[in-house]
């Protein structure tokens, strides 16, 4: 079963604009990770944020985590056409020592040139 709900399911923006995707989850987590998937290909790890962290940056990516609201957001700044992909949040359960990822259903981002 999927833990996360992502919002919006689809997002279409112009190149240069910022894109924000949100993820909510249900149980306590050890960490939350964001992945990108280009059409039908493998998932690429973008960023990992631990439960005791509130914000993390990586290049044009900014991730926030609010454990009190059980939610996270991914911001992509100055988007490019190459950012067109599906983005998934995935959680690792708080008490888990396995690392198994529970994925949300994803947000499909289209960046128009």
Partner 1 sequence: DSGVTQTPKHLITATGQRVTLRCSPRSGDLSVYWYQQSLDQGLQFLIQYYNGEERAKGNILERFSAQQFPDLHSELNLSSLELGDSALYFCASSAQGGSTEAFFGQGTRLTVV
Residues in touch with partner 1 (CB under 8 A): 1-2, 30-31, 33, 35, 40-45, 48, 50, 88, 90, 92-93, 96-106
Nearest distance in Å: CB 35, partner 1: 8
Closest separation between CB of residue 2 and partner 1, Å?
6
Pick 65 or 102: Cβ nearer partner 1 = 102
CA pair distance 21, 93, nearest whole angstrom? 21
Cα distances (Å, whole numbers) of residue 43 to 2, 26, 113? 17, 23, 23
CB closer to partner 1 out of 16 and 94 = 94
Q: Which of 22, 30, 38 is CA-nearest to residue 105?
A: 22
Q: How far is the CB of 30 from partner 1 (least distance, A)?
A: 5
DSSP 44-97: EEEEEEETT--EEEETTEEEEEETTTTEEEEEE-S--GGG-EEEEEEEEETT-S
Based on CB atoms, which residue is closest to partner 1, 70 or 93?
93
Q: Which residue lies nearer to partner 1 by CB, 13 or 48?
A: 48
């Amino acid at each position: 079963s999927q833990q996360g709900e992502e919002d919006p399911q689809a997002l279409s923006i112009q190149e240069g604009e910022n894109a924000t995707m949100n993820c909510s989850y249900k149980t306590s987590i050890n960490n939350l990770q964001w992945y990108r998937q280009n059409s039908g290909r493998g998932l690429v790890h973008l960023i990992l944020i631990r439960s005791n962290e509130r914000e993390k940056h990586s290049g044009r990516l900014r991730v926030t985590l609010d454990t009190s609201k059980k939610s996270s957001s991914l911001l992509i700044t100055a988007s490019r056409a190459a950012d067109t992909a599906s983005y998934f949040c995935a959680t690792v359960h708080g008490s888990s020592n396995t690392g198994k990822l529970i994925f949300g259903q994803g947000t499909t981002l289209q960046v128009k040139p």
